[in-house]
Amino acid sequence: MSSQQIPAGLAAAAQRFGRYLEAERGRSAHTVRAYLSDVRSLLEHAAFEGVEDPAGLELGTLRRWLGSQSEAGMSRATLARRSATARAFTAWAVREELIQTDPALRLKAPKREKSLPGVLHQQQVLRLVEGAESAAAEGGPMPLRNRAMVELLYATGIRVGELAGLDVDDLDPDRRTLRVLGKGNKERTVPYGLPAALAVDDWLRRGRPALATGSSGPALFLGVRGRRVDQRQVRSVVHDLLAALGDTAATGPHALRHSAATHLLDGGADLRAVQEILGHSSLATTQIYTHVSVERLRQSYQQAHPRA
């Protein structure tokens, strides 16, 4: 189906929904754009069927929309996400009295494919940080920054967006803890170890002053022009370091988050403590890492036990 002009009634509802997500739910601009992209796809389909305003949305419309997405080759994970977005939109519309009865209450979507996150072995992480250290030893502010970012990502398991949003005063060097603003503007405190502390201190002493300008503000990590580093730059740095390993399919910062969580559990950390460190709202989200750890334990058992 070609792009469809959305009627004014539907377009206005989408705009109000976006403002609600940002102002009342505290969603980031990136998350709001993702929600609205899905909502626009739904509303374009609804307009194609002749729907003029939210009150005209029906369960059949939602099902046919998801069906068209499936026929277009969307993955089950994408369909599940779009179904969740539709339910969030129609539930909001009911609360705003734009719809009398929620048409998405009986909407079902394919379950997400269950997949375990990619995890680096501890020796791979060691080689990764050694690569960053070697580059930093050659001098220049950027390698110092890159080393500090990688050490901190692995030490804390924070998300790439959380790293990019850090300010200098979010660090507590004496206690080696970090104040992080996570999803939904929820604040948490995360510890980090000595290697990360040394790398960050080196960046603050020798790297950041060389890049800082009047527009740098309090940002902990800076780009080449002195502005706050963005997520794309962080991903590029980690991607290049992972590619240099040559023996992993992992491609971005989330691999360091996955690895940090798994290595904590492998080392005996409590599941709820790992949940707090990662900033997961649900323990079920953290539990996927126990599957990774159990699988690694099973492999070790089969390799080592004489009667395995």
Catalytic (active-site) positions: 159, 183, 254, 257, 280, 289
* Helix segments in the chain, DSSP class H: 8-23, 29-48, 59-71, 76-95, 122-137, 141-156, 160-164, 194-202, 208-211, 231-245, 254-266, 271-278, 283-304
- What does residue 178 show for φ and ψ, rounded to 5 degrees? -130, 130
Alpha-carbon dihedral sign for residues 195, 198, 202, 204: positive
For residue 221, give the amino acid letter.
F
- Residue 292 buriedness (CB in 10 A; 0-12 / 13-18 / 19+): buried
Residue 173 in tokens: 């060097």
Give the residue from 245, 235, 36 showing the smallest Cα distance to 131: 245
CA 98 – CA 92 distance, rounded (Å): 9
Residue 30 in tokens: 């990136």
Residue 19 in tokens: 């403002």
Q: Are 44 and 3 in contact (CB under 8 A)?
A: yes
CA 56 – CA 208 distance, rounded (Å): 55
CA 148 – CA 129 distance, rounded (Å): 9
Give the residue from 244, 265, 277 showing the smallest Cα distance to 153: 277
Alpha-carbon dihedral sign for residues 261, 262, 268, 271: positive
CA 80 – CA 66 distance, rounded (Å): 9
Secondary structure (3-state) at 26: coil
